[in-house]
Chains A and B, each alone.
Chain A
Amino acid sequence: EVQLVESGGGLIQPGGSLRLSCAASGFTVSSKYMTWVRQAPGKGLEWVSFIYSGGSTFYADSVKGRFTISRDNSKNTLYLQMNSLRAEDTAVYYCAKGDTAHDYWGQGTLVIVSS
């Protein structure tokens, strides 16, 4: 059974850093395209980043240069390193399997950027 479990969210001050994790089971993260999507409170879904099976990475303009997507094949885990956090980064962050269509999603982890 495919499962995605995010962790690492929390309250962080503006300018701070946080690393989100997404532990996968039931499939191999390195063999699939993976995506991070976020949803600000009461707002819609926003694409954040892709990592392709070959390792190529892509980012939304809003996070480019601040966020880094990566994976640890030995732990079958996807990561999102978030630096220079801003208030507008406050959201529930979801990891999802796939790139253009996401058939499995995690439960989400809440990141609150506030002083």
Chain B
Amino acid sequence: QSALTQPASVSGSPGQSITISCTGTSSDVGGYNYVSWYQQQPGKAPKLMIYEVSSRPSGVSNRFSGSKSGNTASLTISGLQAEDEADYYCSSYRSSNTLVFGGGTKLTVL
């Protein structure tokens, strides 16, 4: 069960926008609108930021947005802030009642 593909790292300056990609196949990202994004701070449990490709849970800043095109989903963070520095993971439902995560992306705020 291979993981979804994410860049290992991305960086941006405060105020800028960054986008993290998450590439899968037609059996997961491309086939279902069940892509989620999580933020994980060091030593903490993951926090849900986006679900069902582009929906935001209550309490999550509208600076976070999600989208999908074909087999690739994307998380965009606008107006980058120092507190956004963290690891980000995508996940997708995969056929046959399984779930797959991406390898994770380390976001550095310069």
A100 and B89 form a contact (CB under 8 A):
no
Contacts A44-B103, A46-B101, A58-B97; A103 near B1 (Cβ below 8 A): no
- How many Å from the CB of B48 to the closest CB on chain A? 5
Which of these, A45, A62, A108, contacts B91 with CB under 8 Å?
A45
B3 and A44 form a contact (CB under 8 A):
yes
- Jot down 28 A-B pairs with beta carbons below 8 A, ordered by A: A35-B99, A44-B89, A44-B104, A45-B38, A45-B46, A45-B89, A45-B91, A46-B101, A47-B98, A50-B97, A58-B98, A60-B1, A99-B93, A100-B32, A100-B34, A100-B51, A100-B52, A100-B92, A100-B93, A100-B99, A101-B36, A101-B51, A102-B36, A102-B48, A105-B46, A105-B47, A106-B45, A108-B45
User: Is A1 engaged at the interface, CB distance under 8 Å to the other chain?
Assistant: no
CA distance A24 to B48 in the complex (A): 18
A62 and B45 form a contact (CB under 8 A):
no
B1 CB contacts on chain A under 8 angstroms: 60-62
- How many Å from the CB of B23 to the closest CB on chain A? 15
**Interface residues in chain A, defined as those with a beta carbon under 8 Å from any beta carbon in chain B:** 35, 37, 44-47, 50, 56, 58, 60-62, 94, 99-103, 105-108
A100 and B98 form a contact (CB under 8 A):
no
Which of A50, A56, A100 gathers most chain B CB within 10 Å?
Answer: A100
A107 and B45 form a contact (CB under 8 A):
yes
- How many Å from the CB of B24 to the closest CB on chain A? 13
CA distance A105 to B97 in the complex (A): 20
- How many Å from the CB of B45 to the closest CB on chain A? 4
B98 and A45 form a contact (CB under 8 A):
no
Which of B32, B34, B45 gathers most chain A CB within 10 Å?
Answer: B45
B3-24 contacts to A (CB < 8 Å): 3
A47 and B45 form a contact (CB under 8 A):
no
User: Is B102 engaged at the interface, CB distance under 8 Å to the other chain?
Assistant: yes
B48 and A45 form a contact (CB under 8 A):
no
CA distance A56 to B96 in the complex (A): 12
